[in-house]
Amino acid sequence: MHPVIIIGAGLSGLATAYELKKMGIRPLVLEARGRYGGRIWTLPGEGRGTPLEMGATWFGDKHQHLLGLLLELGVGYFDQYSQGVALVEAMSFAPPQRFELPAAEEPYHRVLGGSDALVDALVGRIGEENIRLDTPVTEIREEPDGLQLVAEGGSVYRCRYAVAALPPRLLLKTIKFLPAIPKGIAQVMAQTHTWMSESVKFAVEYEKPFWREHGFAGTAYSQAGPATEIYDHTNFDETAFALKGFLSPGTAQLKENDRREMVLRQLVKLFGLEAANFLSYNDWAWANEPYTHFPYDSYILPHQNSGHPAFAQPLMNGKLFLSGTETSPEFGGYMDGAVLSGLLAADRVALL
C-alpha cells in the first residue's frame, strides 16, 4: 500500500509530490497523459527550436509561490518583450490602429527555456520512477484502511491517502466515486470553471524578428481576426523567434490547416508580407483535450467557483484531498494557484 497517491502530473500534482518528498513521504503520481505537465506544454519549434508555449506562459511579481519554487529549483525567468508599437484591430475592413506601448509598471515574466523547464526540474526532484504516465484513473473506492484506485485497463492501486490534482469538474465527471461525493460539493465541482479549457493557443516561428525591425512590439489585439491576442515570443537569448497568442474559442471546431491559413492572413495584414514566410506553425485547442476539459452543461463564468471553501475539505472520511489551480484560495486558474494548492495539499496530508 502506498502512503499517498497523487492523481495528475500537472504543476499542482508535481508540486504536491515534490513537497511531500521533501517531508520524507514518497508519493506515487498517476498521470493520464503520456507526458508530464498538464496544462503546461512547451513544444520545440521545427525551425529554430523556439520554445513554443501551448499552455501556461506568463506570471508576475505578485505570484510569490511560483517565484519561490522557481528560485528553489534554480529555474530562471525573464521579462516578456513589450517595446515598440502595438496594434488594435477593431474591424476587419479597417487598418489597425497603432499606439506606443507604455513602460510596464509590473512586467510579466516567462520561464527561461520554456515553462516545461519548471516541469522537468520538478520531475527530476520527484524521480521518474515515482510517476506513471498513461494511467488514467477511472474509479476511487473507499476501504476501511485507505482508498482503492482503479485505472483504465483494470490496474489497481491502494493507498492510505490520495490527492486529486485535476480540475474539479473533470474529476467529478470522469472518475467514479464509491461512495459518491456529497451532493453539495458535487454541485460546486460541476459548476467550477476549468482554467484554459476554452483557450486555443497558437505560435508561428520565424527566422528573424522582422516585426521588431519595423518598430513593432509584436503585440496586437483584435476584435476582427481569428487571433484575439498576439505577443512577441522570442526566447531569452534572442536566437529563436516567434509570434504567439490566442485564437477565438470558436476556432476549436476548425481543422488546424484552416486555422493556420486564417492566422497567417491576419499576421500579414498586421505586420506585413514577411509574416507569410514562416518556419513552423503550431496550435492547440484545449477544449479538445479530454484530460483537461469536460463540456459544460450551461454557461459558466471565467474563474467561477475558483478557490471555493468546499475544496479545502477532505472527502471520503478524510482520505481524499483536492488540489489543482481551481481549488487554490489565491490566484486560482494561474500557475501560482497551482503551486499554492500543491503546497496546501501536501501540508494537509503530512499533518495526518
The pLDDT value recorded for residue 15 is 98
pLDDT of residue 198: 92
Q: What is the pLDDT of residue 86?
A: 94
Within 73-133, strands assigned E span 77-79, 85-89, 97-100, 109-111, 131-132
Per-residue confidence band for 275, with pLDDT thresholds at 50, 70 and 90: very high
Q: Looking at residue 310, what is its pLDDT?
A: 96
Q: Which residues does 91 contact at the CB level (< 8 Å), separation at least 6?
A: 223, 224
Non-local CB neighbours of 245 within 8 Å, separated by 6+ positions: 201, 202, 220, 227, 228, 229, 230, 231
Q: Are residues 131 and 241 in the same domain?
A: no
Last residue of a domain, one of 291, 317, 336: 291
pLDDT at 184 over 90: yes
CATH of residue 136's domain is 3.50.50.60
pTM of the model: 0.95
Alpha carbon separation from 179 to 55, 142, 157, 317, 320 (Å, rounded): 34, 7, 17, 10, 12
- Position 280: which residue type? S
Domain boundary residue, one of 261, 291, 321: 291
Q: Is 26 helix (H, G, I), strand (E, B) or coil?
A: coil
Residues 222, 138, single domain; the answer is: no
Assess contact for 292 and 284: CB atoms under 8 A. Answer: no
Residue environment code for 135-145, b if the CB has 16+ CB neighbours within 10 A, otherwise e: bbbeebeeeee
* pLDDT value at 17 more than 90: yes
How far is residue 195's CA from residue 326's CA, in Å, rounded to a whole number?
7
Do residues 165 and 187 both lie within one domain?
yes
Of the candidate ranges 14-18, 97-101, 288-292, the one whose mean pLDDT is the lowest: 97-101
User: pLDDT at position 105, please?
Assistant: 73
Residues 120 and 219 placed together within one structural domain of the fold: no
pLDDT digits (tens, 9 = 90+) for 202-255: 999 999 999 999 999 999 999 988 999 999 999 999 999 999 999 999 999 999
- Specify the pLDDT at position 95: 86
| pLDDT given at position 48 | 86
Q: What is the mean pLDDT of residues 127-149?
A: 97
Which pLDDT belongs to residue 323? 96
Q: Give the ranges where the chain is alpha helix by DSSP (H).
A: 11-22, 64-73, 116-126, 168-174, 183-190, 210-213, 256-271, 335-350
CATH number at residue 227: 3.90.660.10
Task: Establish whether the linkage from the previous residue to 107 is cis, with ω within 30° of 0.
Answer: no
Same domain, 68 and 190: no
Same domain for 287 and 207: yes
- Note whether 34 and 86 are same-domain residues: no
Q: What angle do CA 299, 304, 306 make, to 5 degrees?
A: 150
Residue 121 and residue 12 share a domain: yes
- Say if residues 28 and 6 touch (Cβ distance below 8 Å): yes
**CA–CA dist 37, 53 (Å, integer):** 12
What would the grid cell of residue 33 be? 497523459
Give the model's confidence band at 50: pLDDT under 50 very low, under 70 low, under 90 confident, else very high. Answer: very high
- Spatial separation of the C-alpha atoms in residues 97 and 116, rounded to whole Å: 35
Number of domains observed in the structure of the chain:
2
* Percentage of the chain exceeding pLDDT 70: 100
Same domain as 204, residue 322:
no
The candidate with the shortest Cα–Cα distance to 166, out of 43, 350, 5, 2, is: 5
C-alpha–C-alpha distance, residues 257 and 236, integer Å: 29
If you average pLDDT over every residue of the chain, what do you get? 95
Q: Does position 189 have pLDDT exceeding 90, yes or no? A: yes
3-state secondary structure of 129: helix
**Quick one: 62 and 101 in the same domain?**
yes
User: What is the spatial distance between Cα 227 and Cα 42, in angstroms, rounded to a whole number?
Assistant: 20
Average the pLDDT over each of 43-47, 61-65, 134-138 and give the range with the smallest value. Answer: 43-47
213 and 282 housed in the same domain: yes
Worst-scoring range by mean pLDDT, 16-20, 96-100, 313-317, 318-322?
96-100
Per residue in 68-96, pLDDT tens? 999 999 999 999 999 999 999 988 777 88
Q: What is the DSSP letter of 253?
A: G
Same domain, 176 and 214: no
Question: Distance between CA 149 and CA 177 in Å, rounded?
Answer: 10
Residue 280 lies in domain: 44-111+198-291
pLDDT at residue 101 in the model: 82
